[in-house]
Each structure stands twice: as C-alpha cells, then as structure tokens.
C-alpha cells in the first residue's frame, strides 16, 4: 500500500508500535500526569466539575484538559506517550487503560475537540490489539502505528507526520500518511487529501513576561522537556511591575504590620514554575525566604499554590528570613502558620461595565494550629467613575465551615482595601486587601486576616478568575 493509497473501512485501523519507556509504571489509576504547565490549564471531570491543573497533577480517564488562550501543557501518559497541548485546546481522555505492558487489554481513545497538539506515542498499540489507539476529531479519526505527529483543528483538520505513519479516517474515505507528509480534512463527510501546507501548532506567546534566560522569547521551552519534572529547561522567570498582597501569621509580624500591600514589586518563579515569591518594591524583600517550605498539600478542590500566567500564589512556612522597613527578621513558622501571598501582572482596568469572578485558586488557610482548604467564592464588580464590588470566600478550617463576605467602593487604580465579616463558628471580622490583574482586570487577588470571636487569628489568600464581562451594567 502506497502512502497515498486509500482503503476500505474494514481496514481502517492502523496502529503504532513505538515504545517510550520513560514513565515509572506500576499500579496506577491515573492515565498520566502533567510534566509541564504554562498559564491556566484545567481539567473537567465526567461530573462536569472543573479543577485547576498544576505540574505533577494526574489526569484520569474520562477527563477533558482545557488550555487557556495563553496556556500550554504537556502530559506524560503511563505507557510512555507524550502529548503537548497548545493554547485554546480542549483534549479529552475518553477511555484509557494500561496495565504496565501491552497485553491486549490496553486502550487509548482520545478526542481533540478544538485547538492543537503534538505527540510522540507510547506502548499502547504495540501488541496485537491494533485497534487500541485513536484520536477522534469533528473532521476525522486519527489512527496510528508508531509515530510522532502534529494536529491542528479549527474549521478543518490538518495533520503532519514527523515519524511513522497515521491514517485519517472519515465518511469520505481514508488516507495513509508517512513521515514528512501532511493531510487536510475539510469535514467528516469529505475525503482526506494530501497537502503541502504543514500543520502548525505554535507555542503560547510569553506576552509581557521577561526572563533571566535571554533566549526564552525566541526559543520557548521544548515540546518534550525531559528535565521539566526536575526543574530543568524552563529557566527562572522574573515578571516586573506586579501588584501583590500578603497575609502573615501573627507570630511572623514585624511591628504591628500583619498585612502588607505593594505596587510595582517583582514576582519571581523558579524553573519549575511552581514556586512563587514576591519582592516588595517599596520596603524591601518581604517574601524572599531562606529555608522556606512551599505548601503543596491540596486537601480541597482548589490548588494551594501556582501560577496561571497572570497571577501567582502560595504559602510558605518553616524558617523564614525576610526584610521589611530595613529590618531583617528570622522567624520559625509551623506547618499551620506562614506567609500567604498572591501577586499578579499589572491590570488594564475597564472604564465601564460589569464583571463576575469565580474562585480559581487559594492557599490553604491557617490559624496557627490547623490547616484548612478553600471551598468556593465569587466576586461581582461594577466598573466606572464610582466602582464597587462585593464578594465572598468560603473555606473549611478547624472542622468548621466559614464564609468571609466583603465589599468595597470608590477605590482608586487597581487596588482595594476593606473589611469583611466572617460567619461560621463564633463568627468574626477580617481585614481584606485585594487587587486586579491582567487585561480587562481578568483576575482578582485577595489576602485576608480574620479575627474569630472566640478563636485564633486566621490567614489566607485567594485568586478569582473573570467568568463574565459586559459593557452594559445590569
């Protein structure tokens, strides 16, 4: 059969034979894990619930992975396959099964709903089960046999083969492509055809970010970064001119300061993009810690640390050395204390309109003895000459469900400071500092320090993502 030869539906299943033995195999329920995340990447489960994905998180069969317009992600599957998802992509793991070897029970059925991907396939399909792998799209089904390929889906489908061979199959017919060839498919009822125009899946724009790696913007991180899981390949990123807020346990306070705000500071991310710290541009470095531990324990639905391309957040504890007001202080914070912080890129503020926001990330709140987790939250904002907002943050701490409500009005610029009330337990009050970040104020960062009527001081930080915006005020 020649590469251009078409074949009947009875012979449509052409499978891969390439094995990439890079994934530590074993008894795992997950389909794979995130080796690389840039920007906001989420997973939607079969129950419709969405969760924010960070590097190292697992992907399960039945979940759909979604990348924002400025985001990218790389998944390493348990059979050794790599899948790099491009911006504005929805990729679903329809049915994935792999017991550690190709024994006939393996299965990798996926769907590219929109966007683009690059992949190097793994062990699924290496055995006798030649129908074990397929990627469904609205225009055609992709079957493979030992290959690396790029697919781009818009109003039509374009697929370029790097190595091996693929088959494009739909109601119009079938087409086999080998290394160096590209296929084009108009729709599911039109036969695939050869084309000389390569499928393109461009990297995400780095926007206004600068990097200590001067080649970063010209040469973005490689698609298959073997060092990404050990911190290699990305380089430390420094984003200047950010805004941030910080809440600290009372034992870490310098003088009477318990909440710090700043404009024009610097957000720094390590080379894994999962450690965030904030350098105050006014009074010194307040969150550049020596010997600090970043809290990575996720007990709830919201990531306790991360960077979504616009804002970064986290909590640090342990031995903390920080400088404020020219004074360097060293404190030891227990695992139920620490510095909660969130910082983000400068905001472009709407001059008029209405927006709603939903909680998308939150540090694990602490009270000095207990560590909790965020359970939800939302903010509504009216922009204009007399801006106003109202919002809430709900969290679980010390076996109690709390809800912090707050409002603000007539603030200037992109920052606001207000007070709030806490319900739950014996109730209480809170100091709240917040800011807007990103284009069209698409993020809100918030930190709080709560005083419970008959309990210890509570601290936390949260991130909200814009879910709706209208120029018309309802």
Pairing of the two strands 339-344 and 237-248 = antiparallel
Considering the segment(s) 9-195 as one domain, its CATH architecture is Sandwich (2.60)
Q: pLDDT, tens digit, for every residue of 361-403?
A: 999 999 999 999 999 999 999 999 899 999 999 999 999 999 9
| Domain boundaries for CATH 2.60.120.1440 within the chain | 9-195
Complete DSSP assignment for 253-313:
-BTTB-EEEEEEEEEEE-TTS--EEEE-SSS--SS--SSEEE-----SSS-SSEE-SSEEE
The b-or-e profile of 420-452 (16+ CB within 10 A means b, else e) is bebebbeebebbbbbbbbbeebbbbbbbbbbeb
CA distances for 163 relative to 10, 166, 179, angstroms: 25, 9, 5
Of 86, 158, 91, the residue nearest 118 (C-alpha): 86
Mean pLDDT, range 460-471, rounded to an integer: 89
Q: Exposed, middle or buried by CB within 10 Å (0-12, 13-18, 19+), for 290?
A: exposed
Higher pLDDT, 410 or 320: 410
Q: Is the pLDDT of residue 214 over 60?
A: no
Q: How far apart are CA 121 and CA 142, in angstroms?
A: 12
What does residue 439 show for φ and ψ, rounded to 5 degrees? -65, 135
Q: Which two tokens stand for residue 445?
A: 């960062």
Higher pLDDT, 14 or 439: 439
User: Hey, how many other C-beta atoms are within 10 angstroms of the C-beta on 45?
Assistant: 12
Q: How far apart are CA 38 and CA 102, in angstroms?
A: 32
Q: pLDDT, tens digit, for every residue of 247-297?
A: 888 777 655 455 667 777 877 765 444 556 677 766 665 555 556 788 888
Of 357, 368, 369, 425, the residue nearest 393 (C-alpha): 357
Q: Which of 78-92, 94-108, 407-421 has the lowest mean pLDDT?
A: 94-108
- Decide if 354 contacts 469 (C-beta within 8 A): yes
pLDDT of residue 40: 78
Query: In 121-203, at which residue ranges do the beta strands (DSSP E only) sit?
Result: 133-136, 141-153, 157-170, 173-178, 182-185, 193-195
pLDDT bracket for residue 29 (50, 70, 90) = low
Position of tokens 């960070």? 54
Q: pLDDT, tens digit, for every residue of 313-340?
A: 888 888 887 776 667 778 888 999 988 8
- Decide if 149 contacts 161 (C-beta within 8 A): yes
Q: Does domain 236-474 have CATH number 3.30.870.10?
A: no
Q: pLDDT, tens digit, for every residue of 125-154?
A: 555 666 888 999 999 999 876 678 899 998
Q: How far apart are CA 354 and CA 326, in angstroms?
A: 41
Percent of the chain with pLDDT over 70: 77
Q: How far apart are CA 61 and CA 93, in angstroms?
A: 5
Mean of the per-residue pLDDT values of the chain: 78
pLDDT of residue 275: 57
What does residue 229 show for φ and ψ, rounded to 5 degrees? -80, -5
pLDDT of residue 209: 27
| Domain boundaries for CATH 2.40.160.90 within the chain | 236-474
Q: How far apart are CA 465 and CA 82, in angstroms?
A: 29
- The C-alpha angle 318, 36, 344, rounded to 5 degrees, equals 60
Complete DSSP assignment for 87-99:
TT-EEEEEEEE--
């Amino acid at each position: 059969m020649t590469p251009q030869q078409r074949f009947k539906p009875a012979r449509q299943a052409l499978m891969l034979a390439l094995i990439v033995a890079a994934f530590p195999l074993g008894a795992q329920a997950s389909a794979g894990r995130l080796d690389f995340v840039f920007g906001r990447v989420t997973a939607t489960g079969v129950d419709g619930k969405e969760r924010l994905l960070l590097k190292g998180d697992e992907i399960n069969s039945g979940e759909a992975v979604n990348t924002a317009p400025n985001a990218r992600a790389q998944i390493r599957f348990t059979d050794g396959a790599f899948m790099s998802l491009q911006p504005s992509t929805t990729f679903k793991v329809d049915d994935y099964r792999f017991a550690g070897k190709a024994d006939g029970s393996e299965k990798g059925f996926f769907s590219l709903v929109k966007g683009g991907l690059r992949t190097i396939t793994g062990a699924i399909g290496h055995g006798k089960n030649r129908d074990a792998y397929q990627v469904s799209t609205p225009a055609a089904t992709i079957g493979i046999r030992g290959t690396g390929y790029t697919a781009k889906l818009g109003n039509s489908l374009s697929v370029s083969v790097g190595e091996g061979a693929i088959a494009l199959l739909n109601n119009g017919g079938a087409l086999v492509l080998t290394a160096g060839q590209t296929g084009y498919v108009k729709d599911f009822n039109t036969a695939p055809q050869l084309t000389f125009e390569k499928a393109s899946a461009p990297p995400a724009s780095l926007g206004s970010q600068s990097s200590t790696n001067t080649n970063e913007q010209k040469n973005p991180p490689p698609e298959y970064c073997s060092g990404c899981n050990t911190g290699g390949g990305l380089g430390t990123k420094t984003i200047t001119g950010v805004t941030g807020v910080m809440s600290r346990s009372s034992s870490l306070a310098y003088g009477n300061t318990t909440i710090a705000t700043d404009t024009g500071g610097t957000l720094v991310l390590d080379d894994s993009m999962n450690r965030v710290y904030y350098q105050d541009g006014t009074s010194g470095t307040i969150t550049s810690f020596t010997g600090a531990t970043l809290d990575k324990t996720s007990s709830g639905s919201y990531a306790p640390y991360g960077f979504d391309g616009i804002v970064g957040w986290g909590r640090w504890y342990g031995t903390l050395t920080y400088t404020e007001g020219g004074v360097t202080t060293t404190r030891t914070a227990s695992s139920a204390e620490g510095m909660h912080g969130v910082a983000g890129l400068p905001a472009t503020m709407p001059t008029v309109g209405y927006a709603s926001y939903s909680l998308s990330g939150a540090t694990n709140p602490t009270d000095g003895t207990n560590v909790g987790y965020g359970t939800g939250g939302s903010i509504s904002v009216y922009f204009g000459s007399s801006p106003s907002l109202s919002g809430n943050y709900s969290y679980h701490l010390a076996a109690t469900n709390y809800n912090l409500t707050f409002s603000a009005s007539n603030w200037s610029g992109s920052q606001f400071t207000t007070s709030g009330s806490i319900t739950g337990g014996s109730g209480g009050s809170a100091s709240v500092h917040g800011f807007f970040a990103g284009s069209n104020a698409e993020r809100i960062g918030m930190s709080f320090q709560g005083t419970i009527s008959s309990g210890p001081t509570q601290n936390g930080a949260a991130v909200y993502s814009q879910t709706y915006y209208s120029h018309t005020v309802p």
